Structure 1
Amino acid sequence: MRYALGVEYDGSEFKGWQQLGESGCASVQATLQDALSSVADAPISVVCAGRTDAGVHGECQVVHFDSDVERSPRGWVLGTTTRLPPSVCVRWCVPVVDDFHARFSAKARRYRYRILNRQVRPALYRQILSWERRPLDADAMHRAAQALLGENDFGAFRSAQCQALHARRELQSIAVHRQGEVVEVEVQANAFLHHMVRNIVGSLLMVGAGEKPESWIGELLAGRDRNLAGPTAPPQGLVFVGPLYACSWKLPDEVTL
Protein backbone atom coordinates (compact mmCIF):
# COMPACT_ATOMS: atom_id res chain seq x y z
CA MET A 1 0.00 0.00 0.00
CA ARG A 2 1.25 3.51 -0.78
CA TYR A 3 0.57 6.38 1.58
CA ALA A 4 1.04 10.15 1.37
CA LEU A 5 1.87 12.13 4.51
CA GLY A 6 1.75 15.84 5.30
CA VAL A 7 4.73 16.64 7.54
CA GLU A 8 5.43 19.79 9.54
CA TYR A 9 8.87 20.54 10.97
CA ASP A 10 11.07 23.16 12.56
CA GLY A 11 14.33 22.85 10.65
CA SER A 12 16.45 24.66 13.24
CA GLU A 13 17.92 21.52 14.78
CA PHE A 14 18.37 19.56 11.56
CA LYS A 15 21.07 19.49 8.90
CA GLY A 16 18.44 19.72 6.19
CA TRP A 17 15.92 17.27 4.79
CA GLN A 18 18.41 14.74 3.45
CA GLN A 19 21.91 15.85 4.47
CA LEU A 20 23.75 13.43 6.74
CA GLY A 21 23.77 14.52 10.34
CA GLU A 22 26.82 16.11 11.91
CA SER A 23 27.58 16.96 15.53
CA GLY A 24 24.55 15.03 16.68
CA CYS A 25 22.16 16.71 14.21
CA ALA A 26 20.12 14.29 12.10
CA SER A 27 18.28 14.94 8.86
CA VAL A 28 14.50 15.37 8.85
CA GLN A 29 14.18 12.42 6.47
CA ALA A 30 16.16 10.04 8.69
CA THR A 31 14.19 11.11 11.76
CA LEU A 32 10.86 10.56 10.02
CA GLN A 33 11.92 7.20 8.58
CA ASP A 34 13.03 5.96 11.99
CA ALA A 35 9.62 6.85 13.48
CA LEU A 36 7.66 5.26 10.62
CA SER A 37 9.81 2.13 10.75
CA SER A 38 9.09 1.82 14.46
CA VAL A 39 5.33 1.99 13.82
CA ALA A 40 5.58 -0.56 11.00
CA ASP A 41 8.13 -2.74 12.79
CA ALA A 42 9.87 -2.85 9.40
CA PRO A 43 12.20 -0.54 7.45
CA ILE A 44 10.43 2.31 5.64
CA SER A 45 11.89 4.84 3.21
CA VAL A 46 10.15 8.07 2.21
CA VAL A 47 10.30 10.26 -0.90
CA CYS A 48 9.63 13.98 -0.45
CA ALA A 49 8.13 16.68 -2.69
CA GLY A 50 11.06 19.05 -2.22
CA ARG A 51 14.27 18.90 -0.21
CA THR A 52 15.01 21.71 2.23
CA ASP A 53 18.39 22.97 3.45
CA ALA A 54 19.74 23.12 6.98
CA GLY A 55 17.70 25.53 9.09
CA VAL A 56 14.78 25.72 6.64
CA HIS A 57 11.32 24.78 7.90
CA GLY A 58 8.41 22.81 6.44
CA GLU A 59 4.76 23.78 6.90
CA CYS A 60 3.33 20.91 4.86
CA GLN A 61 6.06 18.82 3.27
CA VAL A 62 4.48 15.92 1.38
CA VAL A 63 6.12 12.50 1.31
CA HIS A 64 5.06 9.08 0.11
CA PHE A 65 6.07 5.61 1.28
CA ASP A 66 5.12 2.00 0.67
CA SER A 67 4.32 -0.56 3.34
CA ASP A 68 2.75 -4.03 3.52
CA VAL A 69 1.85 -3.39 7.15
CA GLU A 70 -1.83 -2.73 7.86
CA ARG A 71 -2.29 0.50 9.79
CA SER A 72 -5.13 3.00 9.58
CA PRO A 73 -4.31 6.55 8.45
CA ARG A 74 -4.99 7.69 12.01
CA GLY A 75 -2.63 5.01 13.29
CA TRP A 76 0.16 6.20 11.01
CA VAL A 77 -0.39 9.84 12.06
CA LEU A 78 -0.58 9.33 15.82
CA GLY A 79 1.86 6.43 16.06
CA THR A 80 4.52 8.22 14.06
CA THR A 81 4.09 11.60 15.74
CA THR A 82 4.47 10.07 19.22
CA ARG A 83 7.86 8.71 18.11
CA LEU A 84 9.05 12.02 16.65
CA PRO A 85 10.83 14.86 18.48
CA PRO A 86 8.74 17.95 19.34
CA SER A 87 10.09 19.72 16.26
CA VAL A 88 8.38 17.31 13.80
CA CYS A 89 4.82 16.05 13.42
CA VAL A 90 2.72 14.21 10.87
CA ARG A 91 -0.38 16.27 10.12
CA TRP A 92 -2.29 13.82 7.92
CA CYS A 93 -2.06 10.51 6.10
CA VAL A 94 -3.93 9.55 2.92
CA PRO A 95 -3.80 6.18 1.10
CA VAL A 96 -2.90 6.82 -2.56
CA VAL A 97 -2.66 4.80 -5.75
CA ASP A 98 0.66 3.21 -6.65
CA ASP A 99 1.56 5.70 -9.37
CA PHE A 100 1.39 8.72 -7.04
CA HIS A 101 4.84 10.23 -6.51
CA ALA A 102 5.41 13.01 -3.97
CA ARG A 103 8.01 14.70 -6.18
CA PHE A 104 7.07 13.94 -9.77
CA SER A 105 3.29 14.27 -9.34
CA ALA A 106 3.61 17.80 -7.91
CA LYS A 107 2.56 20.62 -10.26
CA ALA A 108 3.96 23.45 -8.16
CA ARG A 109 5.82 24.27 -4.95
CA ARG A 110 5.44 27.22 -2.61
CA TYR A 111 7.81 29.01 -0.24
CA ARG A 112 7.44 31.87 2.21
CA TYR A 113 10.30 34.03 3.49
CA ARG A 114 9.74 36.35 6.50
CA ILE A 115 12.01 39.21 7.54
CA LEU A 116 11.76 41.15 10.80
CA ASN A 117 12.50 44.72 9.71
CA ARG A 118 13.52 46.79 12.70
CA GLN A 119 16.71 48.05 14.32
CA VAL A 120 16.78 45.40 17.06
CA ARG A 121 17.22 41.68 16.35
CA PRO A 122 14.41 39.30 17.36
CA ALA A 123 14.34 37.42 20.65
CA LEU A 124 10.99 35.66 20.18
CA TYR A 125 10.51 33.66 16.95
CA ARG A 126 14.19 34.10 16.02
CA GLN A 127 14.26 30.54 14.62
CA ILE A 128 11.58 31.38 12.02
CA LEU A 129 12.43 35.00 11.17
CA SER A 130 15.30 36.56 9.31
CA TRP A 131 16.34 40.08 10.38
CA GLU A 132 17.17 43.28 8.52
CA ARG A 133 17.90 46.47 10.46
CA ARG A 134 17.78 48.82 7.46
CA PRO A 135 14.31 50.16 6.54
CA LEU A 136 12.88 48.19 3.61
CA ASP A 137 10.52 49.43 0.90
CA ALA A 138 8.32 46.36 0.47
CA ASP A 139 6.39 47.94 -2.40
CA ALA A 140 9.61 48.50 -4.37
CA MET A 141 10.64 44.90 -3.68
CA HIS A 142 7.29 43.67 -4.96
CA ARG A 143 7.48 45.71 -8.15
CA ALA A 144 11.05 44.57 -8.82
CA ALA A 145 10.16 40.91 -8.23
CA GLN A 146 7.56 40.87 -11.01
CA ALA A 147 10.39 40.81 -13.57
CA LEU A 148 11.00 37.19 -12.51
CA LEU A 149 7.58 35.87 -13.54
CA GLY A 150 7.30 33.28 -16.27
CA GLU A 151 9.61 30.58 -17.56
CA ASN A 152 13.20 31.83 -17.39
CA ASP A 153 16.79 30.80 -16.88
CA PHE A 154 17.41 31.51 -13.19
CA GLY A 155 21.17 31.04 -13.35
CA ALA A 156 21.70 34.34 -11.51
CA PHE A 157 19.88 32.88 -8.49
CA ARG A 158 21.35 29.38 -8.52
CA SER A 159 23.95 28.17 -6.01
CA ALA A 160 27.30 26.85 -7.17
CA GLN A 161 26.38 23.49 -5.55
CA CYS A 162 23.13 23.12 -7.54
CA GLN A 163 22.95 19.73 -9.26
CA ALA A 164 20.00 20.47 -11.56
CA LEU A 165 20.60 19.71 -15.22
CA HIS A 166 19.46 23.20 -16.27
CA ALA A 167 18.38 26.46 -14.66
CA ARG A 168 15.04 26.98 -16.45
CA ARG A 169 12.08 27.18 -14.11
CA GLU A 170 8.58 28.61 -14.33
CA LEU A 171 8.01 31.15 -11.58
CA GLN A 172 4.21 31.32 -11.35
CA SER A 173 3.75 34.02 -8.71
CA ILE A 174 5.80 36.19 -6.36
CA ALA A 175 4.52 38.79 -3.92
CA VAL A 176 6.17 40.98 -1.31
CA HIS A 177 4.12 42.71 1.36
CA ARG A 178 4.55 44.19 4.81
CA GLN A 179 2.64 43.28 7.96
CA GLY A 180 3.79 45.69 10.65
CA GLU A 181 7.48 45.05 11.26
CA VAL A 182 7.53 41.90 9.14
CA VAL A 183 8.20 41.86 5.39
CA GLU A 184 6.98 38.66 3.75
CA VAL A 185 7.97 37.20 0.37
CA GLU A 186 5.69 34.51 -1.08
CA VAL A 187 6.75 32.63 -4.18
CA GLN A 188 5.35 29.75 -6.24
CA ALA A 189 7.03 27.88 -9.11
CA ASN A 190 6.85 24.55 -10.87
CA ALA A 191 10.20 23.73 -9.21
CA PHE A 192 13.13 25.51 -7.58
CA LEU A 193 16.90 25.48 -7.90
CA HIS A 194 19.23 25.07 -4.92
CA HIS A 195 19.12 28.29 -2.85
CA MET A 196 16.94 29.93 -5.51
CA VAL A 197 14.45 31.53 -3.10
CA ARG A 198 17.11 32.69 -0.66
CA ASN A 199 19.18 34.17 -3.50
CA ILE A 200 16.16 36.01 -4.89
CA VAL A 201 15.39 37.39 -1.43
CA GLY A 202 19.01 38.45 -0.93
CA SER A 203 18.82 40.51 -4.12
CA LEU A 204 15.37 41.94 -3.31
CA LEU A 205 16.72 43.12 0.04
CA MET A 206 19.24 45.29 -1.79
CA VAL A 207 16.38 46.87 -3.76
CA GLY A 208 14.29 47.33 -0.63
CA ALA A 209 17.17 49.02 1.18
CA GLY A 210 17.71 51.43 -1.73
CA GLU A 211 21.11 50.04 -2.75
CA LYS A 212 19.85 49.00 -6.19
CA PRO A 213 17.05 50.23 -8.49
CA GLU A 214 13.96 48.16 -9.15
CA SER A 215 15.16 47.46 -12.70
CA TRP A 216 18.21 45.64 -11.33
CA ILE A 217 16.32 42.39 -10.67
CA GLY A 218 15.34 42.08 -14.33
CA GLU A 219 18.92 42.84 -15.35
CA LEU A 220 20.23 40.09 -13.09
CA LEU A 221 17.76 37.61 -14.56
CA ALA A 222 18.81 38.49 -18.10
CA GLY A 223 22.54 38.37 -17.25
CA ARG A 224 22.37 34.92 -15.57
CA ASP A 225 25.52 35.68 -13.55
CA ARG A 226 25.30 34.58 -9.90
CA ASN A 227 28.40 36.65 -9.05
CA LEU A 228 26.52 39.89 -9.77
CA ALA A 229 23.45 39.10 -7.64
CA GLY A 230 22.90 39.74 -3.95
CA PRO A 231 24.01 37.49 -1.09
CA THR A 232 22.15 34.36 -0.06
CA ALA A 233 19.58 35.26 2.60
CA PRO A 234 19.79 33.34 5.92
CA PRO A 235 17.89 30.03 6.11
CA GLN A 236 15.82 30.60 9.23
CA GLY A 237 13.34 32.94 7.53
CA LEU A 238 12.41 30.35 4.89
CA VAL A 239 9.45 27.97 5.11
CA PHE A 240 8.54 25.37 2.50
CA VAL A 241 4.78 25.96 2.51
CA GLY A 242 4.23 22.82 0.47
CA PRO A 243 3.63 21.37 -3.00
CA LEU A 244 0.43 21.44 -5.05
CA TYR A 245 -1.16 18.47 -6.83
CA ALA A 246 -4.01 17.85 -9.24
CA CYS A 247 -7.36 17.23 -7.56
CA SER A 248 -7.46 13.72 -9.05
CA TRP A 249 -5.01 12.54 -6.37
CA LYS A 250 -7.63 13.35 -3.69
CA LEU A 251 -5.22 14.88 -1.21
CA PRO A 252 -6.17 17.53 1.39
CA ASP A 253 -7.21 20.95 0.08
CA GLU A 254 -4.05 22.69 1.31
CA VAL A 255 -1.95 20.76 -1.23
CA THR A 256 -4.48 20.64 -4.06
CA LEU A 257 -4.72 22.98 -7.04
Structure 2
Amino acid sequence: MSDEVEPGFVRVRLDLAYDGAGFSGWARQNGRRTVQQEVEDALRVVTRAERPWELTVAGRTDAGVHARGQVAHVDLPAGVWEKAEDRLHRRLTGRLPQDIRVWRVGRAPEHFNARFSAVWRRYVYRVSDHPGGVDPLRRGHVLWHNWPLDVDAMNLAAERLLGEHDFAAYCKKREGATTIRTLRALHWERRPDGILAATVQADAFCHNMVRSLVGAMLFVGDGHRPPAWPGEVLAAGVRDSAVHVVRPHGLTLEEVGYPADSLLAARNQQSRTRRTLPAAPDTPGCC
Protein backbone atom coordinates (compact mmCIF):
# COMPACT_ATOMS: atom_id res chain seq x y z
CA MET A 1 0.00 0.00 0.00
CA SER A 2 2.97 2.26 -0.69
CA ASP A 3 2.68 5.76 -2.11
CA GLU A 4 5.73 5.11 -4.25
CA VAL A 5 5.24 3.09 -7.42
CA GLU A 6 7.82 0.39 -8.08
CA PRO A 7 10.15 1.04 -11.03
CA GLY A 8 8.63 -0.28 -14.21
CA PHE A 9 5.03 0.13 -12.98
CA VAL A 10 2.31 2.72 -13.53
CA ARG A 11 -0.33 3.64 -10.94
CA VAL A 12 -3.81 3.71 -12.47
CA ARG A 13 -6.89 5.33 -10.89
CA LEU A 14 -10.35 3.82 -11.38
CA ASP A 15 -13.60 5.63 -10.57
CA LEU A 16 -16.44 3.16 -10.21
CA ALA A 17 -20.00 2.49 -9.07
CA TYR A 18 -21.87 -0.62 -8.00
CA ASP A 19 -25.15 -1.91 -6.65
CA GLY A 20 -24.17 -3.57 -3.40
CA ALA A 21 -27.17 -5.91 -3.17
CA GLY A 22 -25.37 -8.84 -4.76
CA PHE A 23 -22.05 -8.47 -2.94
CA SER A 24 -20.61 -9.43 0.44
CA GLY A 25 -18.97 -6.01 0.56
CA TRP A 26 -15.93 -4.62 -1.22
CA ALA A 27 -13.10 -6.72 0.20
CA ARG A 28 -12.18 -10.07 -1.31
CA GLN A 29 -13.39 -13.04 0.79
CA ASN A 30 -13.02 -16.74 0.16
CA GLY A 31 -16.20 -18.29 -1.17
CA ARG A 32 -18.10 -14.99 -1.37
CA ARG A 33 -18.86 -12.63 -4.22
CA THR A 34 -17.24 -9.23 -3.65
CA VAL A 35 -16.67 -6.08 -5.70
CA GLN A 36 -12.89 -6.30 -5.33
CA GLN A 37 -12.81 -9.83 -6.67
CA GLU A 38 -14.97 -9.00 -9.68
CA VAL A 39 -12.88 -5.96 -10.66
CA GLU A 40 -9.53 -7.65 -10.03
CA ASP A 41 -10.59 -10.71 -12.02
CA ALA A 42 -11.79 -8.51 -14.89
CA LEU A 43 -8.49 -6.61 -14.90
CA ARG A 44 -6.58 -9.88 -15.01
CA VAL A 45 -8.57 -11.10 -17.99
CA VAL A 46 -8.43 -7.91 -20.07
CA THR A 47 -4.69 -7.45 -19.45
CA ARG A 48 -4.04 -11.18 -20.10
CA ALA A 49 -2.19 -11.50 -16.78
CA GLU A 50 -1.49 -14.79 -15.00
CA ARG A 51 -2.55 -13.39 -11.61
CA PRO A 52 -4.96 -10.66 -10.43
CA TRP A 53 -3.64 -7.15 -9.91
CA GLU A 54 -4.41 -6.01 -6.34
CA LEU A 55 -6.63 -2.97 -5.90
CA THR A 56 -6.44 -0.38 -3.11
CA VAL A 57 -9.77 1.33 -2.43
CA ALA A 58 -10.88 4.59 -0.82
CA GLY A 59 -13.62 3.00 1.31
CA ARG A 60 -14.18 -0.69 2.02
CA THR A 61 -17.97 -0.73 1.89
CA ASP A 62 -19.89 -3.39 3.83
CA ALA A 63 -22.17 -6.08 2.41
CA GLY A 64 -25.22 -4.53 0.77
CA VAL A 65 -23.85 -0.96 0.67
CA HIS A 66 -23.88 0.78 -2.73
CA ALA A 67 -21.43 3.20 -4.35
CA ARG A 68 -21.66 5.89 -7.01
CA GLY A 69 -18.29 7.54 -6.43
CA GLN A 70 -15.91 4.83 -5.26
CA VAL A 71 -12.22 5.25 -6.10
CA ALA A 72 -9.49 2.62 -6.35
CA HIS A 73 -5.97 2.34 -7.69
CA VAL A 74 -3.91 -0.47 -9.16
CA ASP A 75 -0.24 -0.69 -10.13
CA LEU A 76 0.26 -2.17 -13.59
CA PRO A 77 3.52 -2.95 -15.40
CA ALA A 78 4.37 -0.04 -17.69
CA GLY A 79 4.34 -2.32 -20.73
CA VAL A 80 0.87 -3.61 -19.89
CA TRP A 81 -0.43 -0.07 -19.40
CA GLU A 82 1.06 1.16 -22.68
CA LYS A 83 -0.58 -1.66 -24.62
CA ALA A 84 -3.94 -1.49 -22.86
CA GLU A 85 -4.31 2.24 -22.07
CA ASP A 86 -6.52 3.17 -25.02
CA ARG A 87 -8.73 0.08 -24.79
CA LEU A 88 -8.72 -0.78 -21.08
CA HIS A 89 -11.85 1.15 -20.16
CA ARG A 90 -13.95 -0.32 -22.95
CA ARG A 91 -12.68 -3.83 -22.27
CA LEU A 92 -13.53 -3.56 -18.58
CA THR A 93 -17.02 -2.39 -19.51
CA GLY A 94 -17.51 -5.48 -21.61
CA ARG A 95 -16.08 -7.85 -19.02
CA LEU A 96 -17.63 -6.60 -15.76
CA PRO A 97 -21.10 -7.68 -14.58
CA GLN A 98 -23.90 -5.17 -14.97
CA ASP A 99 -23.99 -4.33 -11.24
CA ILE A 100 -20.48 -2.79 -11.46
CA ARG A 101 -19.55 0.09 -13.73
CA VAL A 102 -16.20 1.83 -14.17
CA TRP A 103 -16.70 5.48 -15.10
CA ARG A 104 -13.08 6.50 -15.58
CA VAL A 105 -9.66 4.88 -15.99
CA GLY A 106 -6.53 7.00 -16.07
CA ARG A 107 -2.95 7.34 -14.94
CA ALA A 108 -2.83 8.65 -11.36
CA PRO A 109 -0.68 11.64 -10.36
CA GLU A 110 2.52 11.11 -8.40
CA HIS A 111 1.99 10.09 -4.73
CA PHE A 112 -1.70 9.31 -5.33
CA ASN A 113 -3.12 6.65 -3.01
CA ALA A 114 -6.85 5.94 -3.28
CA ARG A 115 -7.13 5.30 0.45
CA PHE A 116 -4.59 7.51 2.19
CA SER A 117 -4.78 10.52 -0.14
CA ALA A 118 -8.51 11.01 0.46
CA VAL A 119 -9.46 14.01 2.60
CA TRP A 120 -13.15 13.14 2.91
CA ARG A 121 -15.81 10.60 2.01
CA ARG A 122 -19.45 11.53 1.47
CA TYR A 123 -22.29 9.06 1.99
CA VAL A 124 -26.05 9.46 1.66
CA TYR A 125 -28.56 7.31 3.54
CA ARG A 126 -32.12 7.28 2.16
CA VAL A 127 -35.26 6.61 4.20
CA SER A 128 -39.00 6.65 3.50
CA ASP A 129 -41.62 7.16 6.21
CA HIS A 130 -44.54 6.97 3.78
CA PRO A 131 -47.33 4.91 5.37
CA GLY A 132 -47.59 2.84 2.19
CA GLY A 133 -43.93 1.85 2.26
CA VAL A 134 -41.19 2.31 -0.37
CA ASP A 135 -41.69 2.63 -4.12
CA PRO A 136 -41.12 -0.95 -5.35
CA LEU A 137 -38.69 0.33 -7.97
CA ARG A 138 -36.51 1.87 -5.22
CA ARG A 139 -36.85 -0.76 -2.52
CA GLY A 140 -33.23 -1.85 -2.92
CA HIS A 141 -31.92 1.64 -2.10
CA VAL A 142 -34.36 3.12 0.43
CA LEU A 143 -35.11 2.00 3.99
CA TRP A 144 -38.74 2.05 5.14
CA HIS A 145 -39.30 3.44 8.64
CA ASN A 146 -42.78 2.71 9.97
CA TRP A 147 -43.14 5.96 11.95
CA PRO A 148 -43.50 9.60 10.78
CA LEU A 149 -40.13 11.37 11.04
CA ASP A 150 -39.44 14.92 12.24
CA VAL A 151 -36.59 16.25 10.09
CA ASP A 152 -36.02 19.32 12.29
CA ALA A 153 -35.55 17.15 15.38
CA MET A 154 -33.04 14.92 13.56
CA ASN A 155 -31.05 17.92 12.35
CA LEU A 156 -30.98 19.33 15.88
CA ALA A 157 -29.57 15.99 17.07
CA ALA A 158 -27.06 15.94 14.21
CA GLU A 159 -25.58 19.32 15.18
CA ARG A 160 -24.33 17.85 18.47
CA LEU A 161 -22.29 15.21 16.64
CA LEU A 162 -20.27 17.44 14.31
CA GLY A 163 -16.54 17.93 14.75
CA GLU A 164 -13.69 15.72 15.92
CA HIS A 165 -14.75 13.10 18.46
CA ASP A 166 -14.10 9.56 19.54
CA PHE A 167 -17.02 7.76 17.88
CA ALA A 168 -16.47 4.52 19.79
CA ALA A 169 -20.16 4.51 20.78
CA TYR A 170 -21.14 4.38 17.10
CA CYS A 171 -18.46 2.05 15.73
CA LYS A 172 -17.68 -1.62 15.73
CA LYS A 173 -14.14 -1.60 17.12
CA ARG A 174 -11.30 -3.25 15.24
CA GLU A 175 -8.00 -4.32 16.76
CA GLY A 176 -5.39 -1.57 16.55
CA ALA A 177 -7.73 0.92 14.82
CA THR A 178 -8.70 4.30 16.21
CA THR A 179 -12.33 5.41 16.41
CA ILE A 180 -11.48 9.13 16.38
CA ARG A 181 -13.01 10.83 13.35
CA THR A 182 -13.87 14.35 12.18
CA LEU A 183 -17.52 14.55 11.16
CA ARG A 184 -17.74 17.47 8.75
CA ALA A 185 -21.39 17.27 7.75
CA LEU A 186 -24.50 15.47 8.94
CA HIS A 187 -27.74 16.86 7.60
CA TRP A 188 -31.23 15.55 6.81
CA GLU A 189 -33.57 16.85 4.13
CA ARG A 190 -36.94 15.71 2.85
CA ARG A 191 -36.73 15.76 -0.91
CA PRO A 192 -39.63 16.56 -3.28
CA ASP A 193 -40.37 12.85 -3.76
CA GLY A 194 -40.84 12.45 0.01
CA ILE A 195 -37.60 10.52 0.55
CA LEU A 196 -35.53 11.65 3.53
CA ALA A 197 -31.82 11.80 2.72
CA ALA A 198 -29.06 12.04 5.32
CA THR A 199 -25.82 13.44 3.90
CA VAL A 200 -22.86 12.34 6.02
CA GLN A 201 -19.32 13.55 5.32
CA ALA A 202 -16.15 12.86 7.31
CA ASP A 203 -12.43 12.47 6.80
CA ALA A 204 -12.99 8.73 7.24
CA PHE A 205 -15.50 6.36 8.84
CA CYS A 206 -15.05 3.46 11.21
CA HIS A 207 -16.98 0.21 10.86
CA ASN A 208 -20.79 0.67 11.02
CA MET A 209 -20.43 4.36 11.93
CA VAL A 210 -22.85 5.85 9.38
CA ARG A 211 -25.52 3.19 9.88
CA SER A 212 -25.31 3.58 13.67
CA LEU A 213 -25.60 7.36 13.48
CA VAL A 214 -28.63 7.05 11.23
CA GLY A 215 -30.20 4.51 13.59
CA ALA A 216 -29.81 6.88 16.54
CA MET A 217 -31.30 9.82 14.68
CA LEU A 218 -34.28 7.82 13.46
CA PHE A 219 -35.11 7.19 17.11
CA VAL A 220 -35.09 10.96 17.60
CA GLY A 221 -37.08 11.61 14.44
CA ASP A 222 -39.91 9.30 15.44
CA GLY A 223 -40.10 10.68 18.98
CA HIS A 224 -38.66 7.73 20.91
CA ARG A 225 -35.67 9.80 22.11
CA PRO A 226 -35.01 13.55 22.60
CA PRO A 227 -32.61 15.43 20.29
CA ALA A 228 -29.94 15.50 22.99
CA TRP A 229 -29.77 11.70 23.21
CA PRO A 230 -27.35 10.91 20.30
CA GLY A 231 -24.87 13.43 21.73
CA GLU A 232 -25.17 11.87 25.17
CA VAL A 233 -24.43 8.45 23.69
CA LEU A 234 -21.37 9.90 21.93
CA ALA A 235 -20.09 11.46 25.17
CA ALA A 236 -20.56 8.20 27.07
CA GLY A 237 -18.14 6.51 24.69
CA VAL A 238 -19.71 3.04 24.88
CA ARG A 239 -22.21 1.18 22.73
CA ASP A 240 -25.84 1.72 23.71
CA SER A 241 -28.17 -1.19 23.02
CA ALA A 242 -30.83 1.31 21.91
CA VAL A 243 -28.64 2.42 18.97
CA HIS A 244 -29.62 0.18 16.07
CA VAL A 245 -27.33 -0.38 13.10
CA VAL A 246 -29.81 0.19 10.28
CA ARG A 247 -29.87 -2.07 7.24
CA PRO A 248 -27.17 -1.47 4.63
CA HIS A 249 -29.27 -1.10 1.48
CA GLY A 250 -30.20 2.55 2.18
CA LEU A 251 -26.54 3.62 2.18
CA THR A 252 -24.55 4.83 -0.84
CA LEU A 253 -20.96 6.11 -1.07
CA GLU A 254 -21.50 9.16 -3.26
CA GLU A 255 -18.10 10.82 -3.54
CA VAL A 256 -14.49 10.80 -2.34
CA GLY A 257 -12.53 14.04 -2.15
CA TYR A 258 -8.79 14.47 -2.79
CA PRO A 259 -6.44 17.44 -2.40
CA ALA A 260 -4.45 19.14 -5.16
CA ASP A 261 -1.75 16.93 -6.64
CA SER A 262 0.97 18.95 -4.92
CA LEU A 263 -0.51 18.08 -1.52
CA LEU A 264 -0.90 14.32 -2.00
CA ALA A 265 2.34 13.27 -0.30
CA ALA A 266 1.63 15.40 2.78
CA ARG A 267 -1.92 14.08 2.99
CA ASN A 268 -0.71 10.47 2.84
CA GLN A 269 1.60 11.06 5.78
CA GLN A 270 -1.12 12.81 7.78
CA SER A 271 -3.59 9.97 7.16
CA ARG A 272 -1.15 7.40 8.48
CA THR A 273 -0.63 9.25 11.75
CA ARG A 274 -2.64 7.66 14.53
CA ARG A 275 -4.98 10.27 15.99
CA THR A 276 -5.66 11.10 19.60
CA LEU A 277 -7.99 13.72 21.01
CA PRO A 278 -6.47 16.78 22.72
CA ALA A 279 -6.18 16.39 26.48
CA ALA A 280 -8.95 18.10 28.42
CA PRO A 281 -7.84 21.24 30.28
CA ASP A 282 -7.26 20.93 33.99
CA THR A 283 -10.39 21.67 36.01
CA PRO A 284 -9.84 24.47 38.55
CA GLY A 285 -10.05 23.25 42.12
CA CYS A 286 -12.99 24.24 44.23
CA CYS A 287 -12.53 26.54 47.28
Fold match by TM threshold 0.5: yes
* Counterpart pick for 1:49 among 47, 53, 58: 58
Residue identity in the other structure for 2:258: Y
Higher alpha-carbon deviation: 98-107 or 185-194: 98-107
Q: How many pairs are equivalent? A: 248
CA distance in 2, matches of 1:5, 1:194: 23
* Counterpart pick for 1:185 among 188, 198, 201: 198
The residue matched to 1:185 in structure 2 has which SS? strand
CA drift of 1:249 comes to 6.9
The residue matched to 1:226 in structure 2 has which SS? coil
Q: TM-score, normalised by structure 2?
A: 0.82
* Counterpart pick for 1:149 among 162, 174, 184: 162
Per-residue CA deviation, residues 185-231 of structure 1 (Å, 9 max, x unaligned), is 00110110100000000000000000000011111110112124410
In 2, are the aligned partners of 1:173 and 1:188 still within 8 Å (CA)?
yes
Residue identity in the other structure for 1:64: H
CA distance in 1, matches of 2:132, 2:199: 24
CA drift of 1:97 comes to 3.4
The residue matched to 2:205 in structure 1 has which SS? coil
Superposition pairs of residues 69-80 of structure 1, within 5 angstroms: 69=80, 70-71=82-83, 73-80=85-92
Structure 2 unaligned residues grouped into runs of 5+: 1-9, 264-287
Q: TM-score, normalised by structure 1?
A: 0.91
Gap change, CA 1:163 and 1:82, over 3 Å in 2: farther
CA drift of 1:71 comes to 4.3
The residue matched to 2:60 in structure 1 has which SS? coil
In the alignment, what sits opposite 2:72?
63
The residue matched to 1:148 in structure 2 has which SS? coil
In the alignment, what sits opposite 1:40?
47
CA drift of 1:120 comes to 2.6
Per-residue CA deviation, residues 219-249 of structure 1 (Å, 9 max, x unaligned), is 1110112124410011000001121101327
Superposition pairs of residues 72-111 of structure 1, within 5 angstroms: 73-111=85-123
CA distance in 1, matches of 2:262, 2:132: 46
CA distance in 2, matches of 1:61, 1:215: 33
The answer to whether the aligner puts 1:168 opposite 2:185 as a matched pair is no
Structure 1 unaligned residues grouped into runs of 5+: 251-257
CA distance in 2, matches of 1:116, 1:164: 37
CA distance in 1, matches of 2:41, 2:177: 31
CA distance in 2, matches of 1:52, 1:212: 29
CA distance in 2, matches of 1:131, 1:21: 32
In the alignment, what sits opposite 2:233?
220
Per-residue CA deviation, residues 79-127 of structure 1 (Å, 9 max, x unaligned), is 1121011000100012113521100111111111001221233221111
Gap change, CA 1:188 and 1:163, over 3 Å in 2: farther
In the alignment, what sits opposite 1:112?
124
The residue matched to 2:138 in structure 1 has which SS? coil
* Counterpart pick for 2:21 among 12, 18, 29: 12
The residue matched to 1:169 in structure 2 has which SS? strand
CA distance in 1, matches of 2:150, 2:240: 24
CA distance in 2, matches of 1:44, 1:192: 26
Moved over 4 A (4+): 71-74
CA distance in 2, matches of 1:87, 1:164: 34
Gap change, CA 1:117 and 1:126, over 3 Å in 2: same
CA distance in 2, matches of 1:67, 1:109: 26
The residue matched to 1:227 in structure 2 has which SS? coil
In 2, are the aligned partners of 1:115 and 1:132 still within 8 Å (CA)?
yes
The answer to whether the aligner puts 1:195 opposite 2:202 as a matched pair is no
* Counterpart pick for 1:127 among 125, 136, 140: 140
CA distance in 1, matches of 2:201, 2:108: 25
* Counterpart pick for 1:208 among 203, 221, 233: 221
In 1, are the aligned partners of 2:28 and 2:37 still within 8 Å (CA)?
no
CA drift of 1:167 comes to 1.2
